[in-house]
Amino acid sequence: MKRTAGIARTVSIALAALATTAVTAGAVSEAPSFYTVRNDHGGVIVDYAIKAAQLEQTGQTVKFAGRCDSACTLYLGISEDQLCVTPSARFGFHLPFGSSSQGNRFATTYLLKKYPRWVIGWLRDNGGLNRNLKVMPYEYVSQHIRPCDTQVTDL
């Protein structure tokens, strides 16, 4: 349990540091208005949590233009008015895995708290999170996230 609390504390500290950095950076320069996600296979959840918080704070639009798997799906927790999808968008979900079973349980809980209700519903309807990659198609996602304007440029 101490390890899980330590992971939670680390995530909280990292997000607090990011918030301070984002406010300071915002005073110096403006971020691009679009961030394109394409063929992202995921990675360390903490890294994606920090990036998602940064994107939400800057108000950037996140354009999904290809695969977004694993930890990348945390971007779906960003405010819906900052998200758009192209017909090539697909989202892959599976149980987190990594350093310890306690860490994996914490990561799973974190993901499920960050996902919007429509993602949770889709996961439930498709058997929940497990070790197998479950792919959410554009046809479903586009019912919940607006299509990208043709004017949205790739950055």
pLDDT tens digits, 49-65: 999 999 999 999 999 99
Read off the pTM.
Answer: 0.77
Q: What is the structure's pLDDT at 98?
A: 82
Q: What pLDDT band is residue 33 in, cutting at 50, 70 and 90?
A: confident
pLDDT for 24 beyond 80: no
pLDDT in tens, 72-89: 999 999 999 999 999 999
Long-range contacts of 134-138 (CB under 8 A, 24+ apart): 134/92, 134/93, 134/94, 135/90, 135/91, 135/92, 135/93, 136/90, 136/91, 136/92, 136/93, 137/90, 138/85, 138/86, 138/87, 138/88, 138/89, 138/90
